[in-house]
Copies of this chain bind each other. A is one copy, B any other.
């Protein structure tokens, strides 16, 4: 029935009667669907992804997608995981700078998600894909290398995971399309009015997000690994 194996691919209709000059469409495939879904998600956000529009963009009928994916949720799962491929730490392996490796891994993770602002908020409520698990596995291995084990290891992994997810979601939620940046700023300024400490610190207005992320990360790592 609904076999999801990539079979041999060949033929393609290009209109009626062989009219020349019509554009050549690549054949439909799971990969193309996912790649196009990522484009649309980047452009319109989570709520802006519609199956019909996705199919349109691929030059296909809406229901054709369902030969390759079970449902819209699976599109989310695949798009999310596809965005989180990790090349690995700069020094392939035996490096003893475990802390540098971890920081690199987490900053890269955050950067990947900020490049696709929908991804962070999607991650916690969707299934874990191989790329995400690969990152977790690598993180665990690196901590082991640093001498963290057992219960401490789980505490470390989850603390960092939580921190990275939270920081990225928060950061992404403060991004707005340039169109209404002014309006958003005004709204935040007004909001602050009745909260003096928040207003004085300009907490909602300008922040060095990257620097703050890095600082909190350092503090966490200071505590998470044994004295030295």
Q: Which residues of A contact B (CB under 8 A)?
A: 121, 124-125, 128, 133-134, 136-137, 140-141, 144, 150-151, 153-155, 157-159, 161-167, 169-170, 172-173, 191, 194-198, 201-204, 207-209, 211-213, 215-216, 218-220, 222-224
Contact for A201 among B121, B154, B219, CB less than 8 A: B154
Instruction: Tell me whether chain A's interface is mostly helix, strand or loop, or mixed.
Output: helix
Closest chain B residue to A209 by CB distance? B158
17 pairs of residues in contact across A and B, judged by CB atoms under 8 Å: A124-B169, A128-B191, A133-B195, A153-B203, A155-B215, A158-B167, A158-B212, A158-B216, A162-B216, A163-B163, A165-B166, A166-B167, A216-B223, A216-B224, A219-B219, A219-B220, A220-B220
Chain B residues with CB below 8 A from A222, complex form: 219, 222-223
A133 is contacted by which of B136, B170, B198 (Cβ under 8 Å)?
B198
Residues of chain B contacted by A216 (CB below 8 angstroms): 155, 158-159, 162-163, 220, 223-224
Chain B, residue nearest A151 (CB): B208
Contact partner of A162 (CB less than 8 A), chosen from B140, B167, B219, is B167
Bound-complex Cα distance A134 to B151 (A): 36
Q: Which 5 A-B pairs have the closest CB atoms?
A: A219-B223, A166-B166, A159-B216, A162-B166, A140-B197
A139: min CB distance to chain B, Å: 9
- Residues from chain B with a CB closer than 8 A to the CB of A164 are 166
Q: Across the interface, which residues of B come within 8 angstroms of A159, CB to CB?
A: 163, 167, 212, 215-216, 219
In the assembled complex, how far is the CB of residue A129 from the closest CB belonging to chain B, in whole angstroms?
Answer: 10
